[in-house]
Amino acid sequence: MSAMTKTTAVAQMVKAATGRGTVIFNDRLRDGTRSLKVWGWTANDYTEAKKLLTLYGCDVKMVEETKFSERGGRYYTMRRLHVQE
C-alpha cells in the first residue's frame, strides 16, 4: 500500500472537521501536480484546505469552472484544487 499524500491527509482533516464530503478524488496529473475534488464541499471548505496545504509547503491553485448540467437544467460551479506537493 502506498503512503498517503499531503493532499489526501488535508482533505481527510477538513472532511472530519466540517462533517462535509463523501468521496475524495485525488488524481495525479501529467505535470506531477495533484487534482483534489471532494463531493459535498463548499467554497469555504476548499479555501480551508488550500490554507492548510500552503502551511504544509505546497503550491496550491484553486480552479473554478462554470458548467451546465443537462440533467438539472442549470449552471453550477465546479471547484477543485491543483496541488504541487
The C-alpha cell of 12 is what? 481527510
Alpha-helical regions (H) of the chain: 6-18, 43-55
Contact call for residues 60 and 53 (beta carbons, < 8 A): yes
Closest alpha carbon to 38 in 60, 8, 66:
8
Q: What is the DSSP letter of 83?
A: E
Rounded to whole angstroms, the Cα distance separating 77 from 64 reads 6
User: How high is the pLDDT of residue 3?
Assistant: 74
pTM of the model: 0.88
From the CB of residue 85, how many other CB atoms can be counted at a distance below 10 Å? 15
Per-residue model confidence as pLDDT tens digits over 34-67: 999 999 999 999 999 999 999 999 999 999 999 9
Provide the pLDDT for residue 2.
Answer: 58
